[in-house]
Amino acid sequence: MKYRSFGSLGFEVSALGFGCMRLPIVGDDANAIDRPLAQRLLRTAIDRGVNYIDTAYPYHGGNSETVVGEALRDGYRAKVHLATKLPIWMVTCPEDVDRLLDEQLRRLGDEHIDLYLVHNLARSTWPLVARHQVLERLERAQQAGKIGHLGFSYHDSFDLFKEIVDSYAGWRLAQIQYNYANETVQAGTRGLEYGAAKGLAMVIMEPLLGGCLANPPPAVAAVFQQAAPARSPVEWALQWLWNKPQVGVVLSGMGTVEQVEQNLASAERSGVGHLTAAELAVVEAAYRLYAGSVPIPCTKCRYCMPCPHRVDVPVAFDLYNGVKAFGGMQGFLNRLIYQGHLATNHAGLCVACGACMKKCPQKIDIITWLQHVHEEMMQKPAAGG
């Protein structure tokens, strides 16, 4: 495993980190983690050198922290830097900070969390930090030995990112959504560089944009297939990130043994400055094609769920994006799935209540898109696309 410097924290982290937002599940229940398989994946990654594990309070309905804690027994806890996150939107008073942290420690079966992040800071949640004395409470938790370094995860504009970084001298790490399709989205490249320049350890989430970059549209896939050296779309995306000196650890949500093995092998081939100018041009060409193919920037994080009116927003958007990006037989099949399998959860059930809009990290105009998606997806499927 390749290791990288981690901001001003004084230790190195594995280039690849294990993100536990999308652990393998049993059946169709997104909260029912396949515990034996999840433990196998986590321990395999750790045995091969992965030393950064990331989870959060709401992942898998709260089950992720419990499963991670179980996987880190038998001596595995001592091998990793463990990160989890305070659900800032659930903090309604200063006492909630202590209550939620203690609940997380119980779930993890631990007395100490190495890296504790304020989860999903954005324009709507940032004021809660001052209002409820969050940082003061977390500093007390540090003094009590419950947590180590403080940081935040982020989904908003660069200007607010800069404001948050500059507002508090105690930040030690920042977690941002970043990939070759998101250089100007949210904190973006400017945020990556600004945070690193301030000494923050920079953690990368959504390196594959919720899996969208792993199975790109045909035109994008063709760019990668024709390029040299031979790399899968996943490896192109990951190597593009590891090429940057400001990147500390890249989180990947791995759900199969094959994914773990492939990502471990890719991390072993990584390094700052490894990509040539020609290789960087390949990724730039792929990005231009991708940006014109996929209209809705949904990462399928499911923060918008559950919908009070039963709309499965991420699935509706994914099916629609597939029609636009792939066309042909895939578009035909996606319309059939939408009109059949999604018949009781389709976008037409939306009543514009706005509950999802408040939760979306990507700031998607969900209501408008749902109306458009339903109108188009209810058209009669044509085998030609």
Average pLDDT score over residue span 186-197: 97
CA distance 321 to 294: 6
Angle made by CA atoms 10, 154, 114, in degrees to the nearest 5: 35
How many domains does the chain fold into? Answer: 2
Same domain, 163 and 214: yes
* Spatial CA neighbour of 151 closest among 163, 165, 166, 136: 165
- Mean pLDDT, residues 119-126: 92
pLDDT surpasses 80 at 327: no
- Give the C-alpha separation, 51 to 246, whole Å: 19
Residue 287 domain flag: yes
For the chain, the first-to-last Cα distance in angstroms comes to 44
| Residue 171 parent element (H or E) | strand 171-177
Give yes or no: residues 248 and 359 share one domain: no
Tokens found for residue 294: 């996929």
Cis status, amide bond into 306, omega within 30 of 0 = yes
pLDDT digits (tens, 9 = 90+) for 15-57: 999 999 999 999 988 899 999 999 999 999 999 999 999 999 9
Domain presence at residue 165: yes
What is the pTM assigned to this prediction?
A: 0.87
**Phi, psi for 84 (deg, rounded to 5):** -145, 180
Domain shared by 225 and 372, yes or no: no
Mean of pLDDT values over 265-281: 97
Same domain? 275 vs 338: no
Per the domain annotation, does 304 fall within a domain?
A: no
| Per-residue pLDDT at 346 exceeds 50 | yes
List beta partners, residue 151: 117, 173
| Distance between CA atoms of residues 284 and 288, nearest Å | 6
Region 136-151: what's the mean pLDDT? 98
7 with 138, same domain: the answer is: yes
pLDDT band at 381 (very low <50, low <70, confident <90, very high): low
Tokens of 276: 């040539």
Q: What is the DSSP letter of 290?
A: H
Note whether residue 299 is domain-resident.
Answer: no
pLDDT (0 to 100) of residue 350: 94
Here the CATH number for the domain that contains residue 211 is 3.20.20.100
Torsion of CA 298, 300, 306, 307, to 10 degrees: 30
* Domain identity same for 188 and 278: yes
What pLDDT does 344 receive? 86
Q: Spell out the residues 6+ positions from residue 312 whose beta carbon is closer than 8 angstroms to its own.
A: 305, 342, 345, 346
Rg (CA), the chain: 21
C-alpha torsion angle, residues 333, 336, 337, 341 (rounded to 10)? -150
pLDDT band of residue 384 (cuts 50, 70, 90) is: very low
Q: Are residues 277 and 344 in the same domain?
A: no
Give the total residue count for the chain. 385
Q: Is residue 203 part of a domain?
A: yes
CA–CA dist 306, 98 (Å, integer):
27
Higher pLDDT, 342 or 127: 127
Q: How far apart are CA 319 and CA 331, in angstroms?
A: 8
SS3 121: strand
24 and 89 within one domain: yes
* Structural domain includes residue 383: no
Domain holding 224, by residue range, is 3-291
Q: Residue 294: which of 224, 217, 234 has the closest Cα?
A: 217
